[in-house]
Amino acid sequence: MQPGPARIVIVGAGHAGGAAAANLRQYGWRGSITLIGEEPLPPYQRPPLSKAWLKREADADSLLLRPAAFYAASDIFLRLEQRAAGIDRQARTVLLASGETAEYDRLILALGAVARPLDVAGAGLRNVLSLRSAADADRLQAALHPGVRLAVIGGGYIGLEVAASARALGAEAVVIEREARLLARVASPLLSDFFRRQHAARGVGLELGAAVEALEGTEVEAPGGAGVEAPEGAGGAVTGVRLRDGRRIACDVVLVGVGALPNDALARAAGLACDNGIMVDAASRSSDPAIYAIGDCTRRPLPLYGCSVRLESVPNALEMAKQAAADLCGRKPPPPEVPWFWSDQYELRLQIAGLPIDAVQTAVRGDPDGGSFAVFHLAADDTVQAVEAVNAPAEFMAGKLMIARRRRVSPDALRDKARALQQLAA
């Protein structure tokens, strides 16, 4: 479709939706753009929520992807605090919870992901929090003070970043992980072990291979009793985590970080092909030619690896926003990118490029005890598939290049710091 007077509606004003709107204008889209979001804020950065924002080191303006005035100035109709309730694909309208409808010629779904709920008794207690939005972060921030005991359920990125921030704020922190190691779904065992030692050294309690039986809270007076008003939500405030082995970990706040689920209910209800995310092609088109889907809510093809995956990351959201905007504006597609991720904990920066699909061997460059190292993951034929780098930005960048170029590199050469990365990546 050439740039013209057609109407684009974007549902979801997060990183992906905000970037798509901006890219469309950058690429010369002349039709109307309506960007619909549930939250009160214009599109903002989520990564700082567990780090700088939580530690009160960032201000609200610095969180925004673009200044609030950008949208009106760019003729992007930003509709905040509006929830989409349905899509009528025949009539090409989005029904809003307010009862209004938004008509589209092309629709972009940027619905994001939602925190996976913890399915145990007591999950509804006060001070049991999750972290996806700025409002979530504000609640968590308000609860974290020196001496407060935080229990983190789930040893993934969000859980570990929050534990690190909590320590910086002077709070106590315990991480409870069901698997035998931290970052079990997203990092190699060597990384897991490294981060376990780092968190332990900073006074974070670690309970690995520990299943949560229930969350326990304060007793709540029966309605009408003693004149004490029951707090909102079922039961009182959380006071502890009961483990399946019977032990109880006392706490004042619980952060649940047990993964995210694609927010694809709207698409499924509209009959779009979904399978652990909205299915899209290489241009981020869904099974309906008038509808695109981008970011965390999708399952997307990954040409480098010959498979389709669901990726929860900012770079993925931005890449897909570009794909959709380029397709809509009749531009040539952006070059495929190597998926990558980053996480900051204490003074440690973890950068990961690629996915260890079909990787059967690893090569460690540098020394974990020295605090700077990288783990390269290679296929049987020595093709570099992924790299995990801790305080090793050159290794990260070199690894990303090797992956993009499908380089075969001998693991011994990667281990040998005397061999220049420039040559190995060339």
Partner 1 sequence: MPKVTYIEYKGTEHTVDVPVGTSVMRGAVDNNIPGIDADCGGECACATCHVYVDKAWLDRTGLPLQGSQEASMLSFAAVTQPDSRLSCQIGMTEELDGLVVRMPEGQH
**251 binding partner 1? (CB under 8 A):** no
- C-alpha 38/C-alpha 150 separation (Å) is 29
- The H or E element spanning position 319 is helix 314-328
Q: CA 181, 187, 191, 193: dihedral to nearest 10 degrees?
A: 0
**98 binding partner 1? (CB under 8 A):** no
Residues in the chain: 426
Binding window for partner 1 (CB under 8 A); candidates: 92-100, 264-272, 290-298, 395-403: 395-403
349 touches 391 (CB < 8 A)? yes
Q: Which of 16, 35, 36, 65 binds partner 1 (CB under 8 A)?
A: 65
Structure tokens at 91: 């009539």
Number of residues engaging partner 1 in binding (CB under 8 A): 28
Binding window for partner 1 (CB under 8 A); candidates: 120-128, 256-264, 300-308, 394-402: 394-402
**314 binding partner 1? (CB under 8 A):** yes
What is the Cα 241 distance to its own chain's centre? 25
Query: String of b and e for 274-308 (b: at least 16 CB within 10 Å)?
Result: beebbbbeeebbbebeebbbbbbbbbbbbebbeeb
Structure tokens at 9: 């509606």
Q: Minimal distance in Å, beta carbon 67 to partner 1?
A: 5
253 has which bridge partners?
150
Q: Minimal distance in Å, beta carbon 148 to partner 1?
A: 27
CB atoms within 10 A of CB 61: 9
CB nearer to partner 1: pick between 31 and 47: 47
Task: Report which of 31, 22, 4, 6 is spatially closest to residue 324, judged by C-alpha positions.
Answer: 22
Query: String of b and e for 382-402 (b: at least 16 CB within 10 Å)?
Result: bbbbbbbbbbbeebbbbbbbb
Residue 370 per-residue DSSP state: G
150 touches 166 (CB < 8 A)? yes
**398 binding partner 1? (CB under 8 A):** yes
Q: Which of 53, 70, 194, 376 binds partner 1 (CB under 8 A)?
A: 70
Q: Which of 34, 45, 133, 198 binds partner 1 (CB under 8 A)?
A: 45
Q: Which of 351, 356, 365, 378 binds partner 1 (CB under 8 A)?
A: 351
**144 binding partner 1? (CB under 8 A):** no
- C-alpha 351/C-alpha 398 separation (Å) is 12
**168 binding partner 1? (CB under 8 A):** no
**126 binding partner 1? (CB under 8 A):** no
**4 binding partner 1? (CB under 8 A):** no
**346 binding partner 1? (CB under 8 A):** no
Q: Which of 340, 373, 376, 378 binds partner 1 (CB under 8 A)?
A: 340
**Which residue matches tokens 């993934």?**
156
CB nearer to partner 1: pick between 58 and 148: 58
**40 binding partner 1? (CB under 8 A):** no
**258 binding partner 1? (CB under 8 A):** no
What are the start-end ranges of the H helices in 180-313? 189-201, 265-269
Each residue 262-301 as x (binds partner 1 by CB under 8 A) or -, in order, gives ----------------------------------------
The residues of the shown chain that bind partner 1, judged by CB under 8 A, are 22, 25-26, 45, 47-48, 65-67, 70, 74, 314-315, 318, 340, 342, 344, 349, 351, 393-394, 397-398, 400-401, 421-422, 425
